[in-house]
């Protein structure tokens, strides 16, 4: 216990600045996702706080950060409409948490190990592009939709590209100036001459960028009112002045809905989708982790389940591990789960103590923070590296990027997985065994040595190979090196015995289990 405590304290100099950056990123996302979901604004903050203070400690991940997810907004919105009240919907969140807890206990998290690397890298690159494209309208002071909408379609009827085109011709000069200054500060903070100054390494560039944004807007307000950032482009946190005020903001579940069958459909949908998003995020976070630590997937599902149960009981939205927050954490130098805990603690303290100061933060300054995160996720070097790895890696990667960009996270991942599986099947067809061929004047002789693992994926390849064996040949099939041979492959081989007789092929079978066909 003492050793573990020393380990976490030893990384506090990196975890605190990272936690601060994640807090700045998570704050508007919590509010924006609640707004887009048709839920009370405070519900997003409740989930962010529970995710930070509870899930971070229960999780086995040192880098992932959880919270309300933009990918669940449509499900939440439809769920509230289906169940006719937010109080009833909260029961679905609690049940979804129970489902995730059960999935973790029965070790269903193993599915997370089957996501191809090219798809995960494509997801990260796509998130980077989405962050850049989605934040430009906020950066320019144009977009008044919720902060953190990752989907292609927008609430106002526009999409990612039309919103971007519209923003270029409707720039808000004040927010844009703040955004440019904030981004410049963050770029300079990455330069070697700044990093050489030890006193400055403890001060996150994102914090400076946000403070600069507040200061510039105050200057605009007092000297050039026409440039002042309007309220719709500032952070907007509900004000809580007392415990009674906190009670007014919290919402509690209505368990009288338990007899409604629709409740269980909504709960199951949330539980499954949230689990998939979490497993995807965990895989991506582990790839970004500088130490390449592996997160126990089943433990993560249990942690998320407990987090959703607590969030649902006190009025919060459903949560997942979220790649935007997680990547911001890693790129800001976060080393352990303490950074995620700090982000939750800061959310709690600031909402309770200084909401008026937080409400002075321009969204364009926060957009600058996310632009830097997006750039780091989708550097040109990544595309070059994937291209050099070969077409079977590059095509699934690019397809995943484009599919996520034009649809949403889960649909895009599904499309990317389909393409990746095609290449996996193609590779399995090519290399399930080794063929030796001897030719003499009168007869061809073939020896087919099966590989160590012959799955059903190799059935097609085996069938094609056997069909190509010429008449009057000698064919030996040896399974001596195989640890496992699927029944489909064995049936194909034994069915070929009849074909071999018709083609006058001398078939010799060695080290193969007997099956009846």
Please report the DSSP string for 100-144 in residue order: HHHHHHTTGGGGGGGS-HHHHHHHHHHHHHHHHHHHHHHHTT---
pLDDT in tens, 279-310: 989 988 998 888 888 899 999 999 999 999 99
Enter the tokens of residue 161: 């590209």
347: left (phi over 0), alpha (psi -120 to 50) or beta: alpha
Half-sphere exposure of 507 (CA within 13 A, CB side): 19
Residue count of the chain: 517
pLDDT band at 89 (very low <50, low <70, confident <90, very high): very high
Q: DSSP label at 67?
A: E
The mean pLDDT value for 12-16 works out to 91
Query: Which residue has better confidence, 202 or 171?
Result: 171
Q: Is the pLDDT of residue 6 over 60?
A: yes
Residues 6 or more apart whose Cβ sits within 8 Å of residue 221: 228
Ordered by start, the domain boundaries in the chain are 2-400, 432-510
Give kind and range of the element (H or E) at residue 236.
none
Task: Provide the percentage of residues in the chain whose pLDDT is more than 90.
Answer: 38
Cβ pair 339, 18 in contact under 8 A: yes
pLDDT band at 84 (very low <50, low <70, confident <90, very high): very high
The pLDDT value recorded for residue 312 is: 97
| Distance (Å, whole) CA 138 – CA 13 | 31
pLDDT in tens, 397-414: 999 999 988 887 778 888
| Distance (Å, whole) CA 158 – CA 370 | 21
Enter the tokens of residue 15: 């975890």
Give kind and range of the element (H or E) at residue 434.
strand 433-439
Q: Is the pLDDT of residue 144 over 70?
A: no
pTM: 0.74
Is domain 432-510 given the CATH code 3.30.750.24 in the classification? yes
The pLDDT value recorded for residue 150 is: 60
Q: Is the pLDDT of residue 259 over 60?
A: yes
Cβ pair 362, 43 in contact under 8 A: no
Enter the tokens of residue 26: 């998570």
| Distance (Å, whole) CA 380 – CA 323 | 20
pLDDT in tens, 232-245: 888 877 777 666 66
Give kind and range of the element (H or E) at residue 58.
helix 56-58
Closest-CA residue to 214 (of 357, 354, 17): 357
Cβ pair 407, 152 in contact under 8 A: yes
Cβ pair 54, 304 in contact under 8 A: no
């Amino acid at each position: 216990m003492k050793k573990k405590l020393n380990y976490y304290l030893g990384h506090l100099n990196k975890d605190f600045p990272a936690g601060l950056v994640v807090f700045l990123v998570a704050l508007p996302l919590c509010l924006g996702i609640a707004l887009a979901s048709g839920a009370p604004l405070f519900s997003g903050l409740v989930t962010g706080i529970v995710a930070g203070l509870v899930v971070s400690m229960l999780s086995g991940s040192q880098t992932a950060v959880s919270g309300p997810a933009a990918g669940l907004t449509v499900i939440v919105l439809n769920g509230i409409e289906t169940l006719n009240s937010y109080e009833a919907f909260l029961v679905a969140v609690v049940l979804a948490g129970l489902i995730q807890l059960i999935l973790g206990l029965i070790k269903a998290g193993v599915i997370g190990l089957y996501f191809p690397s090219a798809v995960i890298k494509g997801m990260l690159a796509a998130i980077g592009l989405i962050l850049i494209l989605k934040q430009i309208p906020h950066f320019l002071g144009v977009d008044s939709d919720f902060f953190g909408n990752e989907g292609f379609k927008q609430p106002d009827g526009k999409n990612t590209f039309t919103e971007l085109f519209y923003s270029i011709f409707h720039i808000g000069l004040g927010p844009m100036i703040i955004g440019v200054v904030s981004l410049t500060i963050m770029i300079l903070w990455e330069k070697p001459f700044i990093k050489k100054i030890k006193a400055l390494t403890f001060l996150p560039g994102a914090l400076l960028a946000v403070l600069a944004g507040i200061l510039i807007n105050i200057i605009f307000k007092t000297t050039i009112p026409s440039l002042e950032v309007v309220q719709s482009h500032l952070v907007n946190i509900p004000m809580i002045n007392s415990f009674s005020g906190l009670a007014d903001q919290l919402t509690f579940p209505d368990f009288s809905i338990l007899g409604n069958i629709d409740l269980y459909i909504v709960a199951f949908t949330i539980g499954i989708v949230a689990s998939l998003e979490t497993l995807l995020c965990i895989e991506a976070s582990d790839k970004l982790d500088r130490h390449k630590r592996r997160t126990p997937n089943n433990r993560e599902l249990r942690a998320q389940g407990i987090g959703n149960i607590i969030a649902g009981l006190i009025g919060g939205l459903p949560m997942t591990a979220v790649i935007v927050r997680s990547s911001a954490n890693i790129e800001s130098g976060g080393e352990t789960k303490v950074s995620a805990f700090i982000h939750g603690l800061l959310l709690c303290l600031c909402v309770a103590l200084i909401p008026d100061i937080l409400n002075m933060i321009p969204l364009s300054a926060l957009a600058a923070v996310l632009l830097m995160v997006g750039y780091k996720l989708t550097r040109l070097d990544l595309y070059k590296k994937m291209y050099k790895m070969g077409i079977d890696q590059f095509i699934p990667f690019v397809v995943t990027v484009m599919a996520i960009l034009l649809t949403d996270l889960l649909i895009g991942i599904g499309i990317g997985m389909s393409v990746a599986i095609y290449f996996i099947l193609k590779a399995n067809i090519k290399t399930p065994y080794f063929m030796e061929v001897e030719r003499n004047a009168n007869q061809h002789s073939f020896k087919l040595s099966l590989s160590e693992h012959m799955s059903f994926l190799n059935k097609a390849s085996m069938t094609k190979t056997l069909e190509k064996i010429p008449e009057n040949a000698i064919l030996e099939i040896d399974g001596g090196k195989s640890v496992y041979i699927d029944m489909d492959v064995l049936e194909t081989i034994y069915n070929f015995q009849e074909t071999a007789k018709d083609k006058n092929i001398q078939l010799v079978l060695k080290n193969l289990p007997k099956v009846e066909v």
